[in-house]
Amino acid sequence: MELSMEMTPRVEVEEDSDNNKGSMWDLDQKLDQPMDEEAGRLRNMYREKKFSALLLLRLAFQSLGVVYGDLGTSPLYVFYNTFPHGINDSEDVIGALSLIIYSLTLIPLLKYVFIVCKANDNGQGGTFALYSLLCRHAKVRTIPNQHRTDEELTTYSRSTFNEQSFAATTKRWLERYAFRRNALLILVLVGTCMLIGDGILTPAISVLSASGGIKVNHPKLSSDVVIVVAVVILVGLFSMQHYGTDKVSWLFAPIVLLWFLLIGGIGLFNIWKYDTGVLKAFSPVYIYRYFRRGGRDSWTSLGGIMLSITGTEALFADLSHFPVSAVQIAFTLVVFPCLLLAYSGQAAYLMQNKEHVVDAFYRSIPDKIYWPVFIVATAAAVVASQATISATFSIIKQALALGCFPRVKVVHTSKKFLGQIYIPDINWILMILCICVTAGFKNQSQIGNAYGKFIEENDLWTAVVIVMLVTTLLMILIMLLVWRCHWILVLLFTGLSLVVECTYFSAVLFKINQGGWVPLVIAAAFLVIMYVWHYGTLKRYEFEMHSKVSMAWIVGLGPSLGLVRVPGIGLVYTELARGVPRIFSHFITNLPAIHSVVVFVCVKYLPVYTVPEEERFLVKRIGPKNFHMFRCVARYGYKDLHKKDEDFEKKLFDSLFLFVRLETMMEGCSDSDDYSLYGQQTERSREALLNDNGNTASSFADPTISSIDSIVQIKSPSHANFTSRSSDRTSSQAEVDQTEFLNNCRDAGVVHIMGNTVVRARRDSRFYKKIAVDYIYAFLRKICRENSVIFNVPHESLLNVGQIFYV
């Protein structure tokens, strides 16, 4: 059954000043109070999962196949792209190697692995994880659905400030004006969109490099054949993503580990064979000599040097798939030393063979192992794209939960590690875009160069350096607001990071017109999608907030609400965690009946990585008891997932029944009307309560149960023990009556009432606003998943209430 109603409401903003708070406002406060006490009584039951040493080593091994493939294949093409016109002086090789060594040390090792990775949100990485940390420490979230009860969550960790501290000053500066909060959000979106653009370019470039290897022995082979082979590999690569990170990493990790061991061993051999003098590149003096001797050519060659750290930008976003310690172990023990040996070995070879710079990697391979290394190199080039694909899944899931991306299906591929996810829609979109990019490079002569390695370095430069700059800017705020570091440490981190990244960025500016615009166009398209969706979501929330119905008006209708109360339970879904949504008043003024029990259900995502199951639901009665109206707030983190099953509705009703039972028990155990109850508890206390046959006093007197969870507020344990038996019998009978009433209503049927708010631009709006709201946002709303699908609502139990809102 579906009901569609339309209206054009006039939204009036409610003032919070004391002058407007009259008797009706006071009545609303008494009838519909926030859930401060309910949230405060939830015990901190969550504990961070600890990993054994053996499991940690296994995860470190698996992370090689997912996180470090892109970074590990850079030795294939760095020196060629650094010296595309040949090497004039052997000292230039030492200078370039010195730049590579210090770039790897400062950016991937020090900045990302040992500093940025520490800023993870309980194991979640990426720009949105940093943003969620900032949202918890300052009021910078643009959708104002946070409440002080959310701060009682176990996972809602944050620091307090001294009002005179620099951190408090920075916090006030961020919160003072809305445009600063919007600027912060746009900065986060830019970094996210650039990483998505990187996730499109990297697979295309990596797979083309692998398929281009065919032309090593067949230089006359048509480029069309290379393109077809690349497309086939891309289809196969994206088709296996649904198996999940765990299985994919087991397939890819041996290839990448073998690759690192080979390039490290070959590099060590070449250093010993050709020139051990390249080790003097560890002195930063040669960087200065390199720039002084080469001038502008040395400056523009930084693009090739920067390719040695591509893949680092995805490292942080991939943290959701593996624990931080596993990623750190893999990098410090395997990746970093093998890369240093590989680059040093190539430099040693080039010192005596400057004319072989075009195919330095393959030329430096000993003849006896050339073909095995070539096969492994081709396989590693294909695997290299997995890092950005997995990172794209993670950041889109985070953006989705924070209201910055249209609703798409998210699949958890591992029962042990919830951060390992797969997004089918995004997977196929990425595949199509990668194929389009691959076909767009059809006429590029670089596809079949002498060593079969294709690279359009200008495309990668832009995306990589902007993501790194965004991460640096967000880390400055993290160090000030979250870590509360001394300003000298913040200045040191900022200085070192910006010196390196701004130097690379200046080189990027010279190459924008030579292909660097490609990721900008891709990122701009995703930025428009994400910002328009966020804008529409924000306006819908503001509409619900400003047009909510007074609880006093509901009470004035009487227990029957002026309607016929028919058996059944009506679940009214709303964005509001407090107040009666307008769709409910619209519903009861247009229909002659309403269900015997009404539950306002608010599902909201918080800027935390997860909400433990025992802290998920908050339940409270609103209005007088004979109105049979409740509110249930279901809280989720950006790592949590609505599973398409009946689990959500079951847990909701479990929480509701438990609330009613506890409420009745408190009426019998306490002589005070000031009590607070809440929904879902720990499994042990739940079973103890539900299995108790009326002996409520003994349940609360049990020290084992009370130590697990303080379920209700009582004056003392002895107060319950001395409650009269007549009160016990009265409360037990009331409890049975209430439970029986809810069971009968549930058996009569459950109807899910959802609002279908259509957002449209006003006639006098500017043309770009009309395009954004009437076309882009409307199109996104049409193609994204409906709430009824997310909650697995049966079509026959769904009732849509339509309304139009003009912005």
- Percent of the chain exceeding pLDDT 90 equals 14
Displacement of CA 377 from its chain's centroid (Å): 32
Write down the residue that tokens 């699908």 correspond to.
Answer: 789
Closest by CA to 351, choosing from 103, 105, 79, 85, is 79
Q: What is the pLDDT of residue 186?
A: 93
> In terms of pLDDT, which residue wins out, 627 or 334?
334
- The 8 Å CB, 24+ separation contacts for 692-700 are 694/728, 694/732, 696/665, 696/668, 696/669, 696/720, 696/728, 696/731, 696/732, 697/669, 697/721, 697/723, 697/728, 700/669
Mean pLDDT of 480-490: 88
Task: Give yes or no for a contact between 195 and 395, defined as CB atoms under 8 angstroms apart.
Answer: yes
DSSP 187-226: HHHHHHHHHHHHHHHHHHHHHHHHHHGGGGT-TTS-HHHH
- The pair of three-digit structure tokens given for residue 68, joined into one six-digit string: 């470090």
Mean pLDDT of 237-243: 87
Mean pLDDT of 41-53: 50
Residue 801, H or E segment: strand 798-806
> In terms of pLDDT, which residue wins out, 14 or 615?
615
Give the model confidence (pLDDT) of 299-331 as tens digits. 878 878 888 888 888 888 888 778 888 999 999
For residue 322, the one-letter residue type is F
Task: Give yes or no for a contact between 618 and 678, defined as CB atoms under 8 angstroms apart.
Answer: yes
Q: Residue count of the chain, please give it.
A: 807
Given a cut of 70, whether residue 502 has pLDDT beyond it is: yes
Give the model confidence (pLDDT) of 618-660 as tens digits. 888 887 888 888 888 888 877 676 555 457 788 888 888 888 8
Q: What is the pLDDT of residue 707?
A: 30
Q: Under the phi-then-psi rule, with left for phi > 0, alpha for psi from -120 to 50, and beta for the rest, what region is 33? A: beta
Mean pLDDT of 36-44: 41
For residues 41 and 57, give the distance between their C-alpha atoms in angstroms, rounded to a whole number. Answer: 39
For residues 422 and 427, give the distance between their C-alpha atoms in angstroms, rounded to a whole number. Answer: 8
- The 8 Å CB, 24+ separation contacts for 289-292 are 289/91, 289/95, 290/91, 290/92, 290/94, 290/95, 290/96, 290/98, 290/99, 291/95
Give the model confidence (pLDDT) of 526-550 as tens digits. 999 999 999 988 888 888 788 787 7
Contact residues for 617 (Cβ-Cβ < 8 A; gap 6+) = 632, 633, 634, 635, 651, 652, 655, 679, 680
Task: Give yes or no for a contact between 429 and 234, defined as CB atoms under 8 angstroms apart.
Answer: no
Residue 500, H or E segment: helix 487-509
Displacement of CA 168 from its chain's centroid (Å): 27
pLDDT band at 459 (very low <50, low <70, confident <90, very high): low
- The pair of three-digit structure tokens given for residue 411, joined into one six-digit string: 């699949």
Q: Among positive and negative, which fits the CA dihedral 313, 319, 324, 325?
A: negative
- The pair of three-digit structure tokens given for residue 170, joined into one six-digit string: 């920075």
Given a cut of 70, whether residue 678 has pLDDT beyond it is: no
Mean pLDDT of 322-347: 92
pLDDT band at 7 (very low <50, low <70, confident <90, very high): very low
Task: Give yes or no for a contact between 682 and 709, defined as CB atoms under 8 angstroms apart.
Answer: yes
Q: What is the pLDDT of residue 679?
A: 40
Given a cut of 60, whether residue 39 has pLDDT beyond it is: no
Given a cut of 60, whether residue 383 has pLDDT beyond it is: yes
CA angle 775, 9, 765 (to 5 degrees): 40
Sheet holding 564-574, edge to edge: 617-621, 629-636, 593-605, 564-574, 750-760, 798-806
Given a cut of 60, whether residue 712 has pLDDT beyond it is: no
For residue 508, the one-letter residue type is V
Given a cut of 60, whether residue 195 has pLDDT beyond it is: yes
Q: In the predicted model, what is the mean pLDDT of the chain?
A: 76
pLDDT band at 339 (very low <50, low <70, confident <90, very high): very high
